[in-house]
Amino acid sequence: MPSEKRPLRSESWFRQINNAGFEHRTHLKARGALPEMFEGRPVIGIANSGSDLVPCNAHLSGIAEWVSKGVLEAGGYPLVFNTMSIGDSIVRPSGMLFRNLMSMELEATLRANPLDGVVLLTGCDNTAPAYMMGAASVQLPTIVVHGGAMISGRVGTRTVGSGTDIFKMHADYRAGNMSKDSFLDAEYGMSRSNGHCNTMGTATTMGCLAEALGLSLPGTAAIPAVDSRRLSSSQLAGRRIVKMVREDLTIAKVVDRKAIENAIRVNAGLGGSTNAILHITALAGRLGIELSLADFEANSKGIPLLANIAPNGAYLVEEFFAAGGLPALMKEMAGQLHLDAITITGRTVGENIAGASTIDSEVIASLETPVKPQNALRILRGNLAPRGAIIKPSAASPHLMRHTGPAVVFESVADLDARIDDPDLDVDENSVLVLKGIGPRGYPGMPELGNIRLPAKLLARGITDMVRISDGRMSGTAYGTVVLHVAPESSVGGPLALVREGDLVTLDVDAGTLDFDVSPAEMERRRAELTAAVVPPQRGYERLFIEHVLQADQGLDFDFLVGGSDTSGPIKRPF
């Protein structure tokens, strides 16, 4: 074990007996800091993404207090700081647009301040990946404390799940099967407590994957937001981060290739959000770990759906936690994992899950008797997606896994909104809905509009699913036979831009192909007719995003942020 006398990064701020050291200490003493806080105690930053603009994260300031208690108990000095937050339930045009900005803010804050370790308080979809990416670029000892899901929704006598049941009720409302008053009244029961979505959406997925990566205390990812164990585990995280600083157990020592592969495999077993592919790719890039769609395919292969959680299954996160949570699921698939991967506990994955067990096999299944045999991820390639596209078979309709149909093409979201419910739209259940212009640069920010709503006239006939294709994303709570992340995107001239009304499109999930029946010569002729689709704004972050964002198969990070980093700093003072 490293010596307790190991030099701390914060000492270059607080040990100086000069103007700079005086200033650093005196302003913190104005906040009540005792002299002993500057005498070799690890300084722990507690990054708080709580905000009233982000309802999913609004309770994180209370969790920060419990983390602080643990830091003090372990002999550290806690400093809570706020950053921007990203709430996909409110923000426009897309939370993904701001993920990189949030990561850059965290990175800059960590570099510029006297911090020896950091605890990341996360919740809503993009906050966890943004924080992990920012921390990875600085490589301090790091723990993720996820805020937890809200309790299960109740509408009348029904249990309902965030997002997933909203999509279902909205379809019923548009089809005339649900009244306006009933639709609006359901809002009161859908979300009943603090916390993020209670389905296996992006928020729950990323909390679970932080634990699978080894960055959270075992068994904490699925604790509901209002469960008292959420607070006590946060206190334990505060104690542990101080020890990690003494052990020099940095994020880069935890998140290596084995950890990344574990996360991909766990995502497959969870039936996790398709957004996880973008986030894990970006995180790996920050650490200098080469990762491609082929790696996701190879590491997901043969792993069926084990978590019976909406949108893939019947239950919600409360039941998942009660059934044993992530450690139980990882124990069920232990043979598929790198059990020797190190975690923030200082122990291996295998040691962490050794005592885990499944309490309810209806909620967490075994490899031998899975919830569904379908894999939760399939990579597609073909002349429509030369750099790849993805589909989530576990949330799709089996009868559409191999399908050929004529394209009904929408050139933009505005075009979709104008025509999708037109009674004269030439569309039936065999058609393939194609939406362009919602990729990383085209929208910008790659919004969650890929689960294209079905035409009202088909909903009225009882049609509940169709093949849908776009260069955008969909909510992790969504479902259906939806092809996403088509790369390159249409707005930079990808083949999706060339699809025209009536073109025959073929999806074959088993074969992993996505093609449209257009010859190479005709594709080139159409390409020559394309005009520039992206006009960068004149200023600000949005311009930076459009000019530097990578495509979906590369994780949507900025080109200048990819690659390993370090804890260089502090920023020098002029006196």
- DSSP for 446-500 reads --S--SPPPPHHHHTTT----EEEESS---TT--SSEEB--SS-GGGT-GGGG--
CA–CA separation, 326 and 333 (whole Å): 11
Query: What is the reported pLDDT for 92?
Result: 86
CA–CA separation, 395 and 483 (whole Å): 11
pLDDT grade for 573, boundaries at 50, 70 and 90: low
As beta bridge partners, residue 391 has 378
> How confident is the model over 467-478, as pLDDT tens digits?
999 999 998 888
| For residue 567, pLDDT beyond 80 | no
Query: What is the reported pLDDT for 174?
Result: 87
Q: Please say whether the beta carbons of 515 and 405 come within 8 A.
A: no
3-state secondary structure of 425: coil
Query: What is the reported pLDDT for 5?
Result: 66
Query: What is the reported pLDDT for 189?
Result: 86
End-to-end C-alpha distance for the chain, whole angstroms: 37
Give the distance from CA 288 to its chain's centroid.
19
Residue 198 or 2, more confident: 198
Query: What is the reported pLDDT for 570?
Result: 54
Amino acid identity, position 239: R
pLDDT grade for 153, boundaries at 50, 70 and 90: confident
CA–CA separation, 187 and 459 (whole Å): 22
Query: What is the reported pLDDT for 2?
Result: 46
DSSP classification of residue 549: B
Phi, psi (deg, nearest 5) at residue 459 = -60, -40
CA–CA separation, 319 and 365 (whole Å): 13
Q: Please state, for a pLDDT cut of 70, what percent of the chain lies above it.
A: 97
- The architecture of the domain spanning 377-528 is 3-Layer(bba) Sandwich (3.50)
Segment 364-377 mean pLDDT: 92
Q: Please say whether the beta carbons of 477 and 163 come within 8 A.
A: yes
Q: Which are the contacts of 63, defined by CB distance < 8 A and separation ≥ 6?
A: 121, 145, 147, 230, 231, 234
| For residue 575, pLDDT beyond 50 | no
Structure tokens at 414: 């505005």
Burial class of 340 by CB neighbour count within 10 A (0 to 12, 13 to 18, 19+): exposed
> How confident is the model over 537-554, as pLDDT tens digits?
888 999 999 999 999 999
Mean pLDDT (the chain) is: 93
Portions of the chain given CATH number 3.50.30.80: 377-528
Using alpha carbons, select from 469, 388, 453 the residue that is nearest to residue 421: 453
Alpha-carbon distances of 252 from 90, 221, 502, rounded to whole Å: 33, 21, 50
DSSP annotation string for 315-377: B-HHHHHHTTHHHHHHHHTGGGS-TT-B-TTSSBHHHHHTT---S-TTTB--SSS-SEEEES-
> How confident is the model over 196-208, as pLDDT tens digits?
999 999 999 999 9
Burial class of 477 by CB neighbour count within 10 A (0 to 12, 13 to 18, 19+): buried
3-state secondary structure of 290: coil
Query: What is the reported pLDDT for 191?
Result: 87
Segment 239-265 mean pLDDT: 97
Portions of the chain given CATH number 3.40.50.2300: 41-151+193-353
Using alpha carbons, select from 181, 466, 161 the residue that is nearest to residue 320: 161
Give the distance from CA 441 to its chain's centroid.
19
Query: What is the reported pLDDT for 3?
Result: 43
Q: Please state, for a pLDDT cut of 90, what percent of the chain lies above it.
A: 83
Segment 453-462 mean pLDDT: 94
Number of H helices, E strands in the chain: 20, 16
For the entire predicted model, the pTM comes to 0.94
Segment 81-107 mean pLDDT: 93
Query: What is the reported pLDDT for 156?
Result: 87
Burial class of 18 by CB neighbour count within 10 A (0 to 12, 13 to 18, 19+): exposed
Is 41-151+193-353 assigned to CATH 3.40.50.720? Answer: no
Query: What is the reported pLDDT for 308?
Result: 97
| For residue 568, pLDDT beyond 60 | no
CA–CA separation, 217 and 528 (whole Å): 55
3-state secondary structure of 407: strand
